[in-house]
């Protein structure tokens, strides 16, 4: 995994802008700490920061190749899991390879097939290719959007980068947020609508899309989308099909020239991935390393709720023991979280959510000395139906994004009345909801209930999953760790999209089909364990710590957030000494959000325009 960035300009000579291109790339050093490089031509400058995973010597980037009298250059972030098959096909077409990296496979695929090359790829990727003869820049992003990619147009310039900080390092892009961006941020929070960059004039390349930049303009093309059709296989055949797809995806994603492990919480998704990976390792005479997160004193502080039914630790140990993995427990305490509390914001270039992201970053940071690559169970809930809003009637029926049924945004209570009236975040969220519904691939003849189920799956894949993948990518790459997500294999997502709910909910339990698919590699009690969300700290010392930070922000008094929030209301929350319980959780999130907004606006010198 890596960081990519670049600058195309139709008027100025970019061979004289190497320092700026270097500055853009330097912002991405944590994504690629092992090496860096740039390639400059009159019209384009490409840069790369590398995290070495495959072919340390041959995969140097930007990579330049000559073919048919033409020059092609690529900067690429990601992994192609079918690169061996593609390489054989390209060799059969006369291509001679100079490395064993998937970077060269991707570049030669473009040389052979042009922009349609993306239809050949199975992987996670974001890349840019400069075609000297055609004088065009071609950008592509993977099917589900696992790897990020942003761009901005400024006059004759087109700039792109893995993260928005790379764009902001160019003098042409200012940290300005207009009313549209602020409304999106306040209304949607971390569930930012795909394509929206928040900063003025910054756009995200959508998952499953490509962007072609020529002198005639910018052309965006969708090369992949979900399609609805009747499912024809019975339950037994469906289970076997899913099992085959999962085992193929997991084993493909174990390819690495550096140490690799898996995340193991003890939940169904990570347990299944770890069990299959452990079997593959055993077949090669190796032992798999697995990693889980625990909080100091969590036995004392844990409070069960519908999203957190029980502690993960005993279940992670159970799977590690039965699968024979070398299990590592990463123990986090309040000082760890408070020390790293702003790292997720710096990784995102936008306000983060608090300890749910901080703990993930700190977990990866502590894993990094031992592994460079890890597999994760991300997206199983979206693809197989793991969240309560899939099957809880009152959550299914709300006329909004179903996860909003978990509770409102308490931070809205502190927004200044004139700001609230001007932005009208509730109307914006309602508009975004209807916009998302209009994109659902419908199936003629479905019952109203089945159609609603299809809507909920689409909303989760197209709107909820982007946040989950964004969080996983930013937190892992900020720690210079690559995380792969087998459940995002587009073949699996395509297949599961049309499997009826009765099969997905087999046995009357969430992810019933997935439980059956993993039943041959997991203990029965692990297969039966009900869904428990990613863990959060329940330690009161964390709440006291973030509360004190909010008090300092209030008393210092010069924070730019007070252009948006009522200082007296924030002070009232900061000095609240009432009972804990559900309000305790809400206030913890409230404090986290205030800290994030304050630090983001200060550090990034955000201008509201």
Alpha-carbon distance of 42 to 47, in angstroms, equals: 14
What is the number of residues in the chain? 609
Alpha-carbon distance of 594 to 603, in angstroms, equals: 14
Residues ≥6 apart with Cβ < 8 Å to 45: 6, 7, 14, 15, 17, 18, 20, 21, 38, 39
Q: CB of 115 within 8 A of CB of 212?
A: yes
- Which DSSP helix (H) or strand (E) runs through 602? helix 582-603
CB atoms within 10 A of CB 387: 21
Of 584, 530, 540, 582, residue with least CA distance to 312: 530
Q: CB of 376 within 8 A of CB of 262?
A: yes
Of 251, 590, 568, 559, residue with least CA distance to 410: 590
CB atoms within 10 A of CB 104: 23
156 is in an annotated binding site: no
Alpha-carbon distance of 608 to 598, in angstroms, equals: 14
519 is in an annotated binding site: no
Residues acting as catalytic residues:
2
377 is in an annotated binding site: yes
Q: Does a cis peptide bond (omega within 30 degrees of 0) precede residue 360?
A: no
Alpha-carbon distance of 164 to 382, in angstroms, equals: 26
Phi/psi for 470 (5° steps) reads -60, -45
Alpha-carbon distance of 584 to 577, in angstroms, equals: 10
Three-class HEC string of 123-181: EEEEEEEEECCCCEEEEEECCCCCCCCEEEEECCEEEEECCHHHHHCCCCCCCEECHHH
Alpha-carbon distance of 469 to 466, in angstroms, equals: 5
Of 498, 502, 497, 500, residue with least CA distance to 487: 497
CB atoms within 10 A of CB 236: 9
Q: CB of 383 within 8 A of CB of 362?
A: no
Residue for token digits 């029980």? 310
Residue for token digits 């239809």? 119
Q: CB of 383 within 8 A of CB of 267?
A: no
Residue numbers belonging to the annotated binding site for L-glutamine: 102
Residue numbers belonging to the annotated binding site for ATP: 376-377
Residue numbers belonging to the annotated binding site: 102, 376-377
């Amino acid at each position: 995994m890596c960081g990519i960035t670049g600058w195309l300009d139709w008027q100025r000579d970019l061979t004289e802008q190497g320092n700026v291109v270097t500055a853009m790339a330097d912002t991405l050093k944590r994504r690629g700490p092992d090496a860096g490089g740039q390639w400059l031509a009159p019209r384009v400058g490409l840069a790369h920061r590398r995290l070495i995973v495959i072919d340390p010597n041959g995969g140097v980037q930007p990579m330049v190749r000559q073919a048919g009298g033409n020059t092609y250059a690529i900067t690429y972030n990601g992994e192609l899991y079918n690169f061996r098959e593609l390489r054989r096909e390209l060799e059969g077409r006369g291509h001679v390879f100079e490395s064993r990296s998937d970077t060269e496979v991707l570049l030669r695929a473009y040389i052979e097939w042009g922009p349609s090359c993306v239809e050949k790829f199975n992987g996670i990727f974001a890349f840019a290719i400069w075609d000297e003869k055609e004088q065009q820049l071609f950008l592509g992003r993977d099917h589900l959007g696992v790897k990020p990619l942003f761009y901005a147009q400024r006059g004759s310039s087109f700039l792109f980068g893995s993260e928005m900080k790379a764009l902001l390092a160019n003098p042409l892009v200012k940290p300005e947020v207009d009313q549209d961006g602020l409304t999106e941020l306040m209304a949607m929070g971390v569930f930012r609508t795909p394509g929206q960059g928040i900063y003025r004039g910054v756009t995200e390349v959508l998952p499953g899309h490509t962007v072609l930049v020529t002198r005639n303009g910018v052309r965006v093309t969708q090369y992949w989308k979900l399609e609805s059709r009747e499912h024809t296989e019975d339950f037994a055949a469906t289970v076997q099909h899913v099992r085959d797809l999962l085992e193929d995806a997991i084993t493909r994603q174990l390819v690495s020239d550096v140490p690799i492990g898996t995340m193991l919480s003890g939940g169904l998704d990570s347990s299944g991935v770890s069990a299959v990976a452990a079997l593959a390792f055993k077949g090669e005479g190796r032992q798999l390393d697995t990693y889980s997160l625990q909080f100091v004193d969590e036995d004392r502080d844990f409070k069960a709720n519908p999203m957190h039914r029980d502690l993960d630790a005993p279940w992670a140990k159970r799977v590690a023991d039965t699968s024979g993995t070398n299990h590592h427990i990463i123990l986090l305490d309040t000082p760890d979280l408070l020390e790293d509390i702003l790292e997720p914001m710096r990784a995102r270039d936008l306000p983060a959510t608090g300890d749910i992201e901080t703990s993930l970053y700190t977990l990866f940071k502590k894993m990094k000395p031992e592994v460079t690559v890890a597999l994760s169970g991300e997206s199983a809930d979206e693809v197989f139906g793991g969240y309560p809003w899939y099957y809880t009637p009152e959550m299914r029926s709300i006329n909004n994004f179903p996860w909003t049924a978990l509770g409102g945004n308490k931070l809205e209570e502190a927004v200044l009345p004139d700001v609230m009236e001007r932005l009208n975040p509730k109307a914006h969220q309602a508009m975004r909801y209807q916009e998302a519904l209009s994109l659902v691939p419908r199936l003629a003849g479905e019952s109203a209930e089945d159609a609603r189920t299809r809507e909920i799956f689409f909303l989760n894949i197209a709107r909820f999953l982007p946040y989950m993948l964004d969080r996983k990518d930013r937190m892992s790459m900020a720690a210079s760790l690559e995380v792969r997500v087998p459940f995002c294999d587009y073949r699996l997502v395509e297949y599961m999209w049309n499997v009826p709910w009765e099969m997905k909910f087999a046995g009357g339990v969430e992810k019933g089909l997935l439980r059956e698919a993993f039943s041959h590699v997991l203990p029965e009690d692990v297969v039966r364990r009900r869904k428990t969300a990613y863990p959060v700290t329940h330690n009161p010392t964390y709440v006291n710590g973030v509360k004190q930070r909010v008090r300092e922000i209030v008393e210092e008094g010069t924070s730019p957030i007070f252009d948006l929030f009522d200082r007296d209301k924030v002070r009232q929350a900061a000095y609240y000494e009432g009972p804990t319980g559900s309000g305790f959780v809400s206030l913890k999130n409230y404090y986290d959000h205030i800290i994030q907004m304050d630090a983001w606006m200060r550090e990034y010198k955000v201008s509201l325009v």
